[in-house]
């Protein structure tokens, strides 16, 4: 795949290196399909990533957050059987190693994760700092306050 040099776009920009990394990741991503997942809106400022991880235990899963990138990976620790190998007539449950990455927007916080009935739920919440929240500015009445006059 051909890579584009984005350097000329950043001559007059500051802080857009994260966007460049995201574009590079999208360009090089082959869109893995395992394991399947949903991203749900559960409230005004809350979200949930639900991932189907049948056959994985809590100890087989790893969730990490670094630089606004959430990484969920899994590797099944196979128990040793007496014969050494398990024989299958049909094997339809995939227990292969996986890694999924999600780029989180600014001010998204991971609240926790649960594993229920083969589904991993990762709860996310957007928490804007007070300085970024919209606020109403009161308009003072012209009768309530004197306008300072210019000193001569």
Strand partners, 50: 38, 121
CATH 2.30.40.10 fits 33-130, yes or no: no
At 14-65, the pLDDT tens digits run: 455 555 666 666 555 555 678 999 999 998 889 999 999 988 999 999 999 9
Cβ proximity of 1 and 64 under 8 Å:
no
Query: Cis (ω within 30 of 0) for the bond into 35?
Result: yes
Cβ proximity of 63 and 49 under 8 Å:
no
From 51-55, 86-90, 96-100, the region with the lowest mean pLDDT = 86-90
* Per-residue pLDDT, 141: 83
What DSSP character marks residue 132?
A: G
Rg (CA), the chain: 25
pTM, to two decimals: 0.64
What is the residue extent of each domain of the chain?
1-31, 33-130
């Amino acid at each position: 795949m051909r890579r584009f040099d984005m350097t000329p776009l950043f001559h007059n920009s500051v802080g857009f290196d994260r966007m460049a990394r995201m574009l590079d990741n999208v360009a090089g991503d082959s869109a893995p399909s395992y394991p399947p997942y949903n991203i749900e809106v559960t409230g005004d400022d809350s979200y949930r990533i639900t991932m189907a991880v049948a056959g994985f235990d809590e100890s087989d899963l790893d969730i990490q957050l670094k630089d606004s990138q959430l990484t969920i990976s899994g590797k099944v620790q196979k128990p040793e059987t007496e014969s050494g190998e398990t024989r299958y007539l049909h094997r339809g449950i995939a227990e292969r190693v996986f890694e999924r990455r999600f780029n989180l927007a600014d001010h998204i916080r991971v609240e926790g994760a649960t594993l229920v009935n083969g589904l991993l739920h990762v709860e996310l919440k957007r928490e804007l700092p007070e300085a970024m929240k919209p606020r109403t500015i009161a308009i003072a009445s012209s009768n309530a306050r004197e306008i300072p006059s210019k000193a001569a």
